Structure 1
C-alpha cells in the first residue's frame, strides 16, 4: 500500500504539489480563524443561577431559595448534574450540561425553567443567570490611576462610565467592578423622634420610595397649544432627601430631617482592593464571552480604553494590572522560535552530511505545511491555540523533521546503490 502511494505520488508530482499548496493555504486561513488563548479551557459546560436575599441566614437561603430552584431545575434536557451552595444572603446553583451542548441553548432552557420556578420563591426575590463566560474568562484586570479623587467618585466613574463603555466591546461578557465605595444616601433614623411624632419606620421607608420617582401626567390644551404635564421627583441631592414629607402633625409637615440624619456615604464592604501596597484602588475585571478569541478581545478592549480616555476627568488614566495577551504572545513566539530553529538546524545537518540543498529544501517545506494542516484539525475539533496545543505542535515538529531526514537519507542511499550498479 505504501509503495503504491509513493509510486502514485512520483507519477503525479504536480498534483501532489497542488494538494500541498491547497493544504498550506487552508491551514494559513485556519490559523487566522483559530481562537488564541494562553490557558486551555478545561472547565465544565455549566450555567450559574445566582440569587440574592439580603440579611438571610444560609439555612433560610437553603430552604426557601436554593431547594425550590434545584428541585425545579431538574429534568432539563442534557443536564449531567446540578450542584448548589447557600451562604449568607446568597444562593448559587450550578447546572452542568453535557460537553457537546451549546451553551446558549442551555441558558435559554434554564431561563424557561426559572420563569416557572419564580412563583415558588419569596416575594421580590428574582434569580439571575451568571455571565456567559468560563472559569478562565478573566482576560484583563485594570485599575484607575486617579490621584486626588476619592474612592467613592472613582467607583462611580467606574460603574457609570467605564463599565458601560467596555461592555460594548464584541466578545466581552461582563465587566466586574471592584474596590472603592458604592455611593448611597444613608438615612440614620432616631427612634426616639419617631416615637415622639408617632410615625412608624415603615412609613418612612414608604415615603422615601414613593418620593424618588417621576410621575407621568396627561396632555391638556390651552389656547391651541398642547402641554404635557409630569412631575419630576427623582432625588438629586441630600437636601431632596431631607425635605421628603413623612407625615403631618396639626397640619405641619414632618420631614425626614426632623426624625433622621441624612448623609452621603458608601455601602458596607467585605474587603478592600490594594494595589502593590500603595493603597486602595478602583478598577474592573473584563470577562470574555464563551468561545471567543482571547487575544482579539483583549486588543479590542485596549482600543476601547484608548477611545474612552478622552472622556475621563483630567489626570485619570487606565492602569493595566493583569494582561493575558503577554502570555499569549510569548506562547506564540515560542512556537515561531522553535520553527525557525528547526528549519536552520535541519538545513545545516542535511547540507553537511548529504551535500544537497534540494534535500534540505524538501524537508524544510514539510514543516510549515504540516503545522498549517494541524490548525485545520484544531478548528475542526473546536480546540483553541493555547499553551498545551502549541506545545504539542512544537514537540511534533521534531518528529516531522526526524521522519524527513530518515526518508531523505534512505533515498540518497538507494540512489547511490543504484548508480553504483549501473556503473558496474
Structure 2
C-alpha cells in the first residue's frame, strides 16, 4: 500500500536526502492572490465582509459574529457527560505541563551599578483559531487556550467556522470546551476571513466592537495559512501550519499492527496527511503493509485514509541500520515522531529534529492529541528543524530592562564611543558624552 524508498547502501548528502524523502505539503503561494482580496475586504469593511464570505463559503450567515454567552453555556449543559469528563481530564493534564513552562524574570549584575533584567510580558490579546471541516476539534481549543492562560494573557477570543447544522454557530462541542476553560468570547467566523477579522477587528451586526488581536495562533487549511501569512505584518502568528504528519522509526521489535494503526490515525485527518515509516527491517515493512490492508478495509474514513496513504507524502523508507534511520528522521523533521525500537528512550534522546517525540509502544500520537499533557499544535513540513510547538512562550514577550547608574556608564563610556565611531555613527557616541557634559555643568552650577 505504501510506496517505498530504499536507501540501503546509499550515502546521500543532506540535500539529496531531503529531496528523496516522501513529502507532500501545500503551496501557500498558489492561493495568495485568491486570499489577498478577501483579506483586504475584511480590513476595509470588517464584520460585514467576514459574514458575507462566511455565507459564501460555509453556507450560513449568523445573526452576529460574536456568539452569545448563553449559547456557550447551553452547549456545556447539553454536552455528553463522558465527553465533558474527558475534556476536563485533558485540561488538567495540559495545565500541569504548561504551568511548568512559565519563565521567571532574570536579573544580571553586569557591573556595580549596571543591571540588565529580562522580564516576560504576556501578549495583551490573542486570537485562537479552531478549524472546522473534516472533524470537530475541541482538543484544539484546549491546546491553544491553556498555554495562553498559563502565560497570563488577559484577553482571549476563539474564532471557529459557523456550522450550518447548528444555526450558524461553531460546533457545540467546541463551544462547550470554551465554557470549560472560562472563555466567553467566541466568534462564529472561520477561514481566511476569520484570520483577517482577528487581525483587523470591526463592528458586529449589533453594533458591538470586535477588538483586533495582537497574535493569532492555531492550525487551519491552506486558505487560513495564506491569510496568516498576509496578516503577519499586522499581527504575530505562531506558524504556517501544513497538513499533519507522522514519522515512525522502528526496528524488528515493533508490532506491525500497532505501527499500521498509528499511520492510519494521522491519515484519517486529511487526504494530504503524511504517514511515513522508517525502518531497517524489510520484513517489518512487509508486515506493516499487510496490517494496513486489513485495518484500512474496516476504518471509518477509508477513502480519506487510502488517499493519504497512497499520496506522494506517505511511504516506507528502508535504511541500513538505526543510525541511518536517525539521520533520515532528522532530515525529515516530523511534526510527530514515534520511536518504536529496542531501548526506545535512548534512541529518542538522540533525535535532533521533531515537533514532538513519542517514546515506545505505549505513547501513541493519539495520546499527545488529547491527554498526554503535551501540546498538539506543532511545526509541520520540516519546520521542526528550527521551530517549536505551541507553548507558554508563544504568548510571552521577553523584554530587557537596562538600569545603569552614572558611574557604571562612565566606566564604559569610552568603549561605547569607540564602537560608535567604528560604525561611523558619531551621534551614538555623542549621546553618551552629552550626559557627562550636562552632569558636569550641573555640578559646577550647583557649586557656584
TM-score in same-fold range (> 0.5): no
Q: What's the TM-score bracket when you normalise by the shorter of the two chains? A: under 0.3
Name the one with the larger strand percent.
Answer: 1
> Bigger radius of gyration, 1 or 2?
1
Q: What TM-score, normalized by structure 2, do the two folds share?
A: 0.24
